[in-house]
Amino acid sequence: MQFDPVKILITGADGQSGSAIARLAEADGFFSVIALNRKQLDVTQPERIVAALDRYLPDYVINCAGLNSADRAERDPQRAMLLNAEAPRHLAVACGDLSIPMIQLSTDYVFDGHYASGYTEEDATQPLGAYGDSKLQGELNIRQTLPRHIILRTSWLFSDRGDNFMLRLLSEARESSVMYAVDDRRGCPTSAFDLARVVLAIIKQLSCGAEAWGTYHYCGAEVTTRYGFSEAVIAAARQYEDLKVDHIQPVASKDFVTEAQRPATSVLKCGKILNVFGIRQRPWRSELQRLIREYYGQVRL
């Protein structure tokens, strides 16, 4: 039987999540993919959004554009609001005019991190800084504007490309014999490709008639700390490269000063996405092994 592929338009398509979603969707005959980077579609410009949607008429818009550094957001809260709150509103308005549903990526930083057991979608939000404030405002803007939306909160994204914790660790491990990593903040690393799998699985179900709009959590399985994740990354990378680092020193977050305050517990509970979409958390450790293998396949040392 012939069917028309589901056309998805991805914004911020050169970033970690945008490029992973595009790569996975392009390899899946269910989708046709319009992947637009910042030059091709600046999401802060409403008239360019309208023109792009009129031109491509996608079945779904996936917004992966944003200002994603908590420290940069603290330095420039206005820019954070522009990218993380105003731009999603412009997208939601334009999507609403053409009856296009929208998928928005959001973050564990909408919570203050005081619940040691982790957060469900129903728990009260209370961002600690400008980044979380702007992402939360983006969520509210979409809920107020576009009933047919999915807001997918995730945490600690890592990938074999872009600016992320895993690649920063590897650079540091080549330069320093001792590295320091925070050991009292807990969270769940999430591979950008695992997140992409989840986004595409949700869209497949929506395309087949599921009416399951709303807010969901998804992150990799197994709670760890930045220290635990650092150890896993270095151990995985040592299979391929002789790194300079010989010791990772665990440190308390109070001794590791950053511009933005970060939640102590970033654990997102993922029961709702399992109940509604049947999507199970995958262990981040196996994703890490796969990504490190791919990374060393493409990097010349």
Ligand X SMILES: NC(=O)c1ccc[n+]([C@@H]2O[C@H](COP(=O)([O-])OP(=O)(O)OC[C@H]3O[C@@H](n4cnc5c(N)ncnc54)[C@H](OP(=O)(O)O)[C@@H]3O)[C@@H](O)[C@H]2O)c1
Catalytic site residues? Answer: 131
Helices (H) and strands (E) in the chain, counts: 11, 12
φ, ψ (nearest 5 deg) of residue 101:
-70, 160
Which one-letter amino acid corresponds to residue 255?
D
The span of 24-32, 115-123, 148-156, 224-232 binding ligand X (CB under 6 A) equals 148-156
Closest CB to ligand X among 18 and 113? 18
Q: How far is the CB of 155 from ligand X (least distance, A)?
A: 5
Q: Is 167 in the site for ligand X (CB under 6 A)?
A: no
Supply the minimum distance, in Å, between the C-beta of residue 236 and ligand X. 18
In the set 90, 135, 186, 217, which binds ligand X (CB under 6 A)?
A: 135
Q: Report in angstroms how near the CB of residue 3 gets to ligand X at its nearest.
A: 29
Identify the sign of the CA torsion 108, 110, 113, 118.
negative
Select from 7-15, 50-58, 92-100, 283-291 the region that touches ligand X (CB under 6 A): 7-15
d(CA 227, CA 231): 6
Six-digit token string for 290: 């796969």
Q: Contacting ligand X (CB under 6 A), which of 12, 118, 127, 129?
A: 12
Question: Reduced to 3 states, what is the DSSP secondary structure of residue 7?
Answer: strand
Residue 82 DSSP symbol: I
156 binds ligand X (CB under 6 A): yes
Contacting range for ligand X; rule: CB under 6 A; set: 150-158, 196-204, 243-251, 269-277: 150-158
Among 6, 9, 10, 11, binds ligand X (CB under 6 A): 11
Q: Is 162 in the site for ligand X (CB under 6 A)?
A: yes
| CA 251 distance to own-chain centroid | 26
Given phi > 0 = left and psi -120 to 50 = alpha, else beta, which region is 65?
Answer: beta
Binders of ligand X in range 95-114 (CB under 6 A): 105, 107
With beta carbons less than 8 A apart as the criterion, state whether 200 and 172 touch. Answer: no
Q: Between residues 48 and 204, which has the closer beta carbon with respect to ligand X?
A: 48
User: What backbone phi and psi angles, to 5 degrees, belong to 208?
Assistant: -95, 10
3-state secondary structure of 86: helix
CB of residue 136 to ligand X, shortest distance in Å = 11
Give min distance, CB of 298 to ligand X, in A.
17
| 165-175 vs 226-238: helix crossing angle, rounded to 10 | 60
43 binds ligand X (CB under 6 A): yes
Cα–Cα–Cα angle for 134, 95, 131, rounded to 5 degrees: 10
User: Among residues 64, 166, 199, 291, which is the contact residue for ligand X, using CB under 6 A?
Assistant: 64
Tell me which residues touch ligand X (CB under 6 A).
11-12, 14-18, 38, 41-44, 64-66, 68, 83, 105, 107, 135, 154-157, 162
